[in-house]
Amino acid sequence: MKANSLQDLYLEQLRDLYDAEHQIIKALPKLIDAAQSERLKDALTEHLDVTKEQASRIEQIFDTRGEKPRAERCKGMQGIIQEGDDLIGGIKDPNVRDAAIIASAQRVEHYEMAGYGTARNYADLLDENEASQLLQETLDEEKEADETLTDLSEEINVEAEEEGGSEGAEEATEERRSSSSKKSRESRSKKSRAA
Ligand SMILES: [Fe+2]
């Protein structure tokens, strides 16, 4: 599609996001199956439900405009999902695989956050207030999902770092885990102080 106005660009972004959400709905069950950590499985399962809701929000936006929702292939999301598939499929260690699932899922979230931030901004400029609200809701959910993944990574990446699972190693993991989450808590509170 050739975009000749901000309105055209806006529609193009919505169609792209609509397609991206559908790609994610298709990809998430595979990640849920591949995950070992129950907490990671639960987080991804919850995000699958949220993603279905997000796709229907875009349908709602098209509906209000009296248009049929149309998807335009989001090649960026296709690439991110493909890259994640290639990476995860080749990993045997379940802890390392979980770390890779988080890495891949966070790339997805950040890509979506960029798309929704732009679309919400266009909706504001075009005085599409209801759409702006719906897009902001999704943007907030994507941020939340990203934060959940960051929290999970604090535990899972540490487990991935240690190989094997002797008792001594488990103690070391516990120690590193608490020092790693302490560090990230400190850096987060530093950031919020700076903000
Ligand atoms: Fe999404």
- pLDDT tens for each residue of 32-52: 999 999 999 999 999 999 999
Please indicate, yes or no, whether residues 142 and 171 belong to a single structural domain of this protein: no
Q: Which residues contact 112 (CB under 8 A, 6 or more apart)?
A: 17, 20, 24, 142
Given a cut of 50, whether residue 169 has pLDDT beyond it is: no
Rounded-to-integer distance, Cα 120 and Cα 128, Å: 9
Rounded average pLDDT over 105-123 = 98
**CATH number of the structural domain spanning residue 95:** 1.20.1260.10
Distinct helix (H) and strand (E) counts, the chain: 6, 0
Rounded-to-integer distance, Cα 84 and Cα 119, Å: 25
Tell me how many domains the chain contains.
Answer: 2
Please indicate, yes or no, whether residues 71 and 116 belong to a single structural domain of this protein: yes
Given a cut of 70, whether residue 179 has pLDDT beyond it is: no
Q: Which residue has the higher pLDDT, 164 or 60?
A: 60
Distance of CA 138 from the midpoint of ligand 1 (Å): 7
CB 29 within 8 A of CB 83: no
Please indicate, yes or no, whether residues 50 and 103 belong to a single structural domain of this protein: yes
Q: Give domain status of residue 1, yes or no.
A: no
Please indicate, yes or no, whether residues 100 and 126 belong to a single structural domain of this protein: yes
Rounded-to-integer distance, Cα 139 and Cα 132, Å: 10
Distance of CA 108 from the midpoint of ligand 1 (Å): 8
Q: Which range has highest mean pLDDT (138-147, 155-164, 185-194)?
A: 138-147
* Residue 127 DSSP code: T
Please indicate, yes or no, whether residues 44 and 138 belong to a single structural domain of this protein: yes
In 3D space, the residue among 55, 42, 60, 53 whose CA is nearest the CA of residue 151 turns out to be: 42
Distance of CA 51 from the midpoint of ligand 1 (Å): 5
Given a cut of 70, whether residue 188 has pLDDT beyond it is: no
Q: Give domain status of residue 134, yes or no.
A: yes
Please indicate, yes or no, whether residues 131 and 56 belong to a single structural domain of this protein: yes
Domain ranges, residue 171: 166-195
Please indicate, yes or no, whether residues 49 and 75 belong to a single structural domain of this protein: yes
Please indicate, yes or no, whether residues 57 and 102 belong to a single structural domain of this protein: yes
Please indicate, yes or no, whether residues 22 and 84 belong to a single structural domain of this protein: yes
Distance of CA 142 from the midpoint of ligand 1 (Å): 6
Position 174, amino acid: E
Q: Which residues contact 1 (CB under 8 A, 6 or more apart)?
A: 8, 11, 12, 15, 72
Please indicate, yes or no, whether residues 156 and 75 belong to a single structural domain of this protein: yes
Angle made by CA atoms 132, 136, 138, in degrees to the nearest 5 = 125
Residue owning tokens 């939340």: 144
pLDDT at 159: 87
pLDDT at 19: 98
Please indicate, yes or no, whether residues 193 and 147 belong to a single structural domain of this protein: no
Please indicate, yes or no, whether residues 141 and 187 belong to a single structural domain of this protein: no
Given a cut of 70, whether residue 131 has pLDDT beyond it is: yes
CB 37 within 8 A of CB 98: yes
Read off the tokens for 67: 């248009």
Alpha helices (H) along 35-128:
38-64, 75-89, 94-125
Rounded average pLDDT over 135-145 = 98
Distance of CA 174 from the midpoint of ligand 1 (Å): 33
Q: Which residues contact 184 (CB under 8 A, 6 or more apart)?
A: 150, 154
How does pLDDT run across 69-96, given as a tens digit for each residue? 999 999 999 999 999 999 999 999 999 9
